Amino acid sequence: MSIPLDANDLLLFARVADTGSFSRAAEQLDLPKSTVSRRIAALEAQLGERLLTRSTRYLALTEFGQGVAGHARRLAEEADAAAAFAQARQETPRGLLKVSLPPFADHDLARFLRQFMADYPLIQLQLDISARRVDLIAEQFDIAIRVARSLPDDATLVARRLRDDNSGIYASPAYLAEHGMPDTPESLLEHTAIRLSSNGETPAWVLTKGKETWNGLPEGTLSCNAMGLIGEMAVAGLGLANLPEHFAAPLQRSGQLVRVLPAWCSHMSSVWAVIPSRRHVPSRTRAFIEAVEQHLLPLCSELPETTSAPLPTQRKK
């Protein structure tokens, strides 16, 4: 029949054995001396033998106590090693980090990942890029990055907004030179759209200017759920694309894309970091969230002015 022991009492006994005093052990552990004495007495009762010989002048281990102390000290060493291991993981981010990303994957993603892995070489990063709503807890994801106006209520998850973002309509100079520059939202319907499709749904474009709102979607034979590919197809001149401003900014600065109807913006969305719990967030998760936030900040601050280069306004007959 096994004796049910409390590991904490063994750790306490190891401290008493090492200090040779109830008082010093109590002081080091920030416990009342009476508590230490009571728990050691309870441990002796469980084990069925005396661990210590007590007098008013000294405290000594019995032969049995010496044997138990060896086991207790090894347990204390393992506990200290576990604490040091946990502290090291908190101080130096490390270990497997499983991240869910939407398929928008901006064109700076590879550069961001290269920098992140250089900054945190002990992190093993596992990316899952999908438009589906993953179950962070059941699928053991550490973090999900999502782009949406709002997130569904879920008491089991914690969401942090990293950035708000507007979208706009963009096209390549070559496309606009051939098909003309739209001058009203209604004229967008005379053009070809590269559509964003997610989970089988292709949402309409909703544009606003002040209190004015326009809702529609040009015809198009191309659709996909990857924002990066939509941007590349727009640069290739395959049609108009509704792109996040931060995503289109470097392409606009380089002259590869032009903002169409710059006074009109699409619905604002937000970039969210979603984690399973607020308690005991690993340092690797915090490091990734902070890195994403820092990556997004310069993209927001360097957005070009919403002006378009002069292009022919007539459409090719």
47 and 147 belong to one structural domain: no
22 and 148 belong to one structural domain: no
Rounded to 5 degrees, φ, ψ at 11 are: -65, -40
207-235 pLDDT, tens digit per residue, is 999 899 999 999 988 988 778 889 999 99
153 and 258 belong to one structural domain: yes
> Which residues lie closer than 8 Å to 209 by C-beta, 6 or more apart?
263, 264, 265
Q: Which residue has the higher pLDDT, 276 or 107?
A: 276
What's the rounded Cα separation, in Å, for the pair 213 and 191?
19
Residue 1 counted as domain residue: no
Residue 133 pLDDT > 70, yes or no?
A: yes
Model pLDDT, residue 315:
37
Model pLDDT, residue 310:
34
302 and 173 belong to one structural domain: yes
Q: What is the mean pLDDT of residues 106-134?
A: 86
127 and 37 belong to one structural domain: no
260 closest CA partner among 165, 194, 180 = 180
Residue 2 counted as domain residue: no
Count the domains in the chain: 2
275 closest CA partner among 142, 146, 155 = 142
Q: What residue type is assigned to position 52 of the chain?
A: L
54 and 186 belong to one structural domain: no
Give the CATH number for residue 233.
3.40.190.290
Q: How confident is the model at residue 107 (pLDDT cuts 50, 70, 90)?
A: low
Q: How confident is the model at residue 149 (pLDDT cuts 50, 70, 90)?
A: confident
79 and 183 belong to one structural domain: no
138 and 228 belong to one structural domain: yes
63 and 130 belong to one structural domain: no
Model pLDDT, residue 106:
53
Residue 313 pLDDT > 60, yes or no?
A: no
Domain residues for the domain of 11 are: 7-91
3-31 pLDDT, tens digit per residue, is 678 888 899 999 999 898 889 999 988 89
> Which residues lie closer than 8 Å to 284 by C-beta, 6 or more apart?
89, 93, 94, 95, 97, 120, 123, 142
116 and 246 belong to one structural domain: yes
Residue 150 counted as domain residue: yes
> Which residues lie closer than 8 Å to 99 by C-beta, 6 or more apart?
125, 126, 127, 128, 141, 142, 143, 144, 145, 288
163-212 pLDDT, tens digit per residue, is 887 899 999 999 999 999 999 999 999 999 999 887 677 888 999 998 99
132 and 81 belong to one structural domain: no
Mean pLDDT of the chain: 84
202 and 299 belong to one structural domain: yes
Give the CATH number for residue 78.
1.10.10.10
Residue 179 tokens, joined: 């098909």
Q: How confident is the model at residue 155 (pLDDT cuts 50, 70, 90)?
A: low
Model pLDDT, residue 268:
66
Rounded to 5 degrees, φ, ψ at 107 are: -70, -10
What's the rounded Cα separation, in Å, for the pair 308 and 181?
10
Domain boundary among 70, 91, 112: 91
* CA angle 198–179–106, rounded 5-degree value: 35
Model pLDDT, residue 234:
96
Domain boundary among 91, 121, 142: 91
User: In the chain, what percentage of residues exceed pLDDT 90?
Assistant: 45
29-41 pLDDT, tens digit per residue, is 889 999 999 999 9
Q: What is the mean pLDDT of residues 48-64?
A: 86
